[in-house]
Structure 1
């Protein structure tokens, strides 16, 4: 059986271990992908550090993947070996994660990479675009219901929205989705160093919290909190901006609990892998590649880490320590130094074992 290199989380809150595992075979309706780029996300840090979300170990993390179709499972149509594809890892199981050199995916849950973007750029999109999209677009109660079919004719030309954390990967995509929907005013709280870039994505104003009401007197019916680990009071600040009947989307599954609001305001927590989004996800993956091709969705800016899988642990530490801003960290699993690993595998594995995020 052929083997590959993978970064494995053997149990909850354990250090990562670099090891050799079998290359899986695609099942019915599945595709085996040679992983050319895999992006790091704060949720990877949270799973390893806090033991959340994942219920079965060992597991391989890495939710954002881009690569080449290597093998087709039974009944897969519309794809060929060598096609460039990008996708969000569907399950927290070893065969599906991106922190390895080959991964499985359902053929219905991927898109072809547009020719004008790189694997690295493509890998910056799936998870964080999905997180932004499922909060804003699907039908209520699990989404804000702004455009469940991603119909380009649906516009909100007289409405204003606020994105807290616009410089994050999720925040950048929330801004772009609101721009796609034609919102008149898109205000964001983010570091001033990102002003020009966020305006290029569709933000109309980047402000301090204190200046918010000097920009628009229009009611804010849509607030997106795009911060995975928000500071105390962040959700309160967003909620305080909501007009009666407004909706605040929070990019975590369990936002601050709120009593029933007499003015009809509501809070939506996001779990991008929840089964009730399945129908919307089918629609999204049919339309997302064309949106990227047309420039309606722009990938995150990326920073590529050297030495493939070996660099993931240090990259996740940087994320956890708040040392990454405005870019997506990406690794190339195929560039894991195989020759060096052959000679010094135990030394490298011990080094990885000694680090914890």
Structure 2
């Protein structure tokens, strides 16, 4: 459920409260509670007539009005009814929090009811989740303040928090989100965008490179190339200034596929940029999903036979050299290689050995 829909669903609950405030001031608490309950029932009937079914949120809202109103009448104390706005807000806050901080997005499921023809790609869903995290903290503060205002003698504070307060809070939040979005669009305009894929490799959308690498774990494709020669595997040493796995030996070629680029074209471009090879032939040896501490990749692996010479960018690679298969196996698990390479080498070792022996 988006922010506008959240506010829209909360609106029916404001009318009984506003009526209660007015009637309470004129005729007293009991009359205010009775009229508020009556208004709630009318809202429920109107909603049913429009939709031919009871809207679950309005049904819960009106049910809470009736229950808390009845308790307040029986105990001759309007405190229970005054708690209603805070309780409703707290429940909404809980739903948003559960959706924002877990893998089960209940709010998205509720949104799809109102946005049946709207499809969201993984980046949009991630942005929605980040927004929900921010609105969660805002609504949590608002809910607690609203509940606290119920215990105050000053009804003006409670009436503001129980009605207009939410609009003020949401207005501030929407303004903040608009400014944030404007800054992001300006920042992302000149940034490299990467394609996003499902677990079958089908493209679902795209996202800025910085977002992909900030623990969003949006699945995106990368290419790796193993270069072999006479039973040796070419590896590159990552420079110390690299954010991920600095100073470790890694696959000869590894890079991201950019938005609008094919896997084959990406492989040619990355290989040319990293080790200076052009017009080479490579064979696909498999693909797998790799999740590191900062990102989630679908790795497309290739292999080629080549003895060099190789040309590499010294600002991006410290060193390249051929490693014998036995030397690689002897040093596995010692922190010399990247975890990604070790996983890949173990998975495709048989294929690499077959290819190496075939070319001897």
TM over 0.5: no
TM-score, with normalisation over the residues of structure 1? 0.22
TM-score, with normalisation over the residues of structure 2? 0.22
**In terms of Rg, which structure is larger?**
2
Greater RCO, CA 8 A, separation 6+: 1
Higher helix share: 2
Higher strand share: 1
